[in-house]
Chain A
Amino acid sequence: MSDTADLRAVLEPADVARALSRIAHEIDERTKGADDIVLLGIPTRGVALAQRVAQRLAEIQAHAIPVGSLDITMYRDDLRLKKARALLPTEIPAGGIDDKTVILVDDVLFSGRTVRAALDALGDIGRPRMVQLAVLVDRGHRELPIRADYVGKNLPTSLRESVRVQLIEHDGEDGVYVGTAGA
């Protein structure tokens, strides 16, 4: 793909698949096969990741895992700094999130502000028993006291670099790339 020419691939398609499988196994192990798990992806790419992890987890646990999406636009702390944005879908599985183990899924963990907004959004929807965080890439540079429970790849970056996650569902192929911002 030409628009990724000046980017350096850090995860190949097979690496992405392995990372997601490992996350599914870690979730199974850490939650001790709990049957109250709900996966919520943060749009846009978090939703596709949540669906893939849910599918793998369903194979491990041999029962369907509720999966949905959680839009955090209305809870962003930078809402007033940019033009009003279109909302993205929020779909909470039929069983709700009360007393469930909710695992938030996103593609990249950076400042932590998205996750902060997601926690606020969750609080308005219900009261989970526990909330955990799974990300494909943790690139560091946190601005809030937030950490991920499940990480596909820890990727030390400088603030000048940009991280791009591509997924088959959105971009035609899987991969994680690092480039110089503005390059």
Chain B
Amino acid sequence: MQHLLSTADLTRDDALLILDTAAELAQISDRPMKKLPTLRGRTVVNLFYEDSTRTRISFEAAAKRLSADVINFSAKGSSVSKGESLKDTALTLQAMGADAVVIRHAASGAPHRLAHSGWIESTVINAGDGTHEHPTQALLDAYTLRKHLRDGDGDLAGARITIVGDVLHSRVARSNVLLLNTLGAHVTLCAPPTLLPVGVEEWPCAVSYALDQAIADADAVMMLRVQLERMNASFFPSAHEYSRRYGLDAQRMSTLPTHTIVMHPGPMNRGMEIAADVADSKRSVIVEQVSNGVSVRMAVMYLLLGGAESGIGGN
């Protein structure tokens, strides 16, 4: 497997290899010399057509810790704003000798197009495409879940994960449902009917409209951001009503089992899907998710780029 485009492409063994590799690489973050020579001389391009803080910084930190050269490209302030197509941008990156392209794009399928068009020979890593997938986010969520629920070992068999909120616009939800299912977890999606995508009944998960029931026996609750920037219609009557019915506040959190952790892929709308005191509580692993993201992305880049051929798949 040369590219990482979707968590649907990962077998259980592939996913565990990435998580185990990330666990070894996490040690690097704790030592004074946070660098490995592994990708010396390789060039990684961060090709971001959409705004991002943590994903772009996380990929950049991961690539630099593996000693790769990193070129950051954001659509704003580039030739894209003059109308350059994805193809012409790709040909430019190919001419510059990019070994990997980390792409975020508003159009679902853009990474797949880039990987299979023949425009470039680089490895393509999907860093979020439209409302489709965000595989490295799902991998870092699985890593965080495994660390808290399974002492960092094995898969997530039997774990109960509830994903709450704007599933319709969420690439994180789709990637997570597919990956967590592969790892043996039971996933429940909880959202108002207007914020669930068409065909969700085909996904390998349960669906609920009632938050209090959906989180009653959950081992982890993952709150999704309400993506107001992608909303071109009214999906719920008011922010207040959404927050009351689908937001996680301190009162609701107190009903959770004592071991249950609270996750959020960021960026958060504090006061909307998650209350500020919940986000900052001891159960929240939101900041830890960010640091785990660097280890997981290091693992993905090492396995895809480190050897003569990819270490993922083909087993």
Binding site for B on A (CB under 8 A): 71, 74-75, 79-90, 120, 124-125
Is A84 in contact with B27, judged by CB distance below 8 angstroms?
Answer: no
Consensus secondary structure, chain A interface: loop
Residues of A within 8 A of B312 (CB): 84
Is A83 in contact with B20, judged by CB distance below 8 angstroms?
Answer: no
Q: Given the known inter-chain contacts A71-B24, A90-B24, please indicate yes or no for A84 contacting B37, CB distance below 8 A.
A: no
Cα A120 to Cα B17 with chains together (Å): 25
Consensus secondary structure, chain B interface: loop
Q: Which of B25, B308, B311 is in CB contact (< 8 Å) with A81?
A: B308
Number of B interface residues in the complex (CB < 8 A): 23
Known: A84-B302, A90-B27. 12 other contacts (CB 8 A): A74-B36, A75-B37, A75-B38, A80-B307, A80-B308, A81-B308, A83-B310, A83-B311, A84-B306, A87-B24, A87-B25, A124-B35
Is B33 at the interface (CB under 8 A from chain A)?
yes
Cα A152 to Cα B303 with chains together (Å): 36
Is A79 in contact with B38, judged by CB distance below 8 angstroms?
Answer: yes
Is B21 in contact with A87, judged by CB distance below 8 angstroms?
Answer: yes
Q: Given the known inter-chain contacts A71-B24, A80-B308, please indicate yes or no for A86 contacting B37, CB distance below 8 A.
A: no
Minimal Cβ-Cβ distance residue in A for B31: A125
Is B180 at the interface (CB under 8 A from chain A)?
no
Is B311 in contact with A84, judged by CB distance below 8 angstroms?
Answer: yes
20 pairs, CB–CB < 8 Å, chain A vs chain B: A74-B38, A74-B302, A75-B36, A75-B37, A75-B38, A79-B38, A80-B306, A80-B308, A82-B308, A83-B308, A83-B309, A84-B302, A84-B311, A85-B307, A86-B21, A87-B21, A87-B24, A87-B25, A120-B37, A124-B36
Is B304 at the interface (CB under 8 A from chain A)?
yes
Minimal Cβ-Cβ distance residue in A for B25: A87
Q: Which of A75, A82, A120, A125 is in CB contact (< 8 Å) with B307?
A: A82
Residues of A within 8 A of B305 (CB): 84
Is B33 in contact with A79, judged by CB distance below 8 angstroms?
Answer: no
- State how many angstroms separate the Cβ of B63 from the closest Cβ of chain A: 14
Minimal Cβ-Cβ distance residue in B for A80: B308
Minimal Cβ-Cβ distance residue in A for B306: A84
Cα A82 to Cα B305 with chains together (Å): 11
- State how many angstroms separate the Cβ of B143 from the closest Cβ of chain A: 15
Residues of A within 8 A of B36 (CB): 74-75, 124
- State how many angstroms separate the Cβ of B25 from the closest Cβ of chain A: 7
